[in-house]
Amino acid sequence: MSEPNAKVLVPSQAPNPLDKSAAASPAAPEYAGFWRRTWAGTIDIALEAVGALVVTFVIDALLDRVGRMMGYDRWISKVAAGMAYILVLTIGSWLYCAFGESSSRRATIGKRIMGLQVVTADGGKVSFGQATIRHFMKFLSLFTAGVGFMMVGWTKRHQALHDMPLDCTVIRVRPPKNLLLPSDSH
In a domain, 84, yes or no: yes
In a domain, 129, yes or no: yes
CA 183 to each of CA 23, 99, 113, 131: distance values in angstroms, whole numbers, following the listed order:
21, 19, 14, 23
In a domain, 18, yes or no: no
Query: Could you tell me the pTM of the whole model?
Result: 0.73
Confidence of residue 182 (pLDDT cuts 50, 70, 90): low
In a domain, 14, yes or no: no
In a domain, 159, yes or no: yes
CA 28 to each of CA 11, 95, 123, 137, 157: distance values in angstroms, whole numbers, following the listed order:
12, 30, 10, 27, 11
Torsion of CA 8, 13, 14, 15, to 10 degrees: -80
Average pLDDT for residues 30-43, to the nearest whole number? 90
Question: What pLDDT score does 48 carry?
Answer: 95
State the total domains in the chain: 1
Give the residue numbers spanning the domain of 162: 34-172
In a domain, 57, yes or no: yes
In a domain, 10, yes or no: no
pLDDT digits (tens, 9 = 90+) for 92-125: 999 999 999 999 998 999 999 999 999 988 888 9
In a domain, 25, yes or no: no
Report the DSSP beta bridge partners of residue 125. Answer: 119
Of 186, 165, 183, 163, give the one whose Cα is nearest residue 174: 183
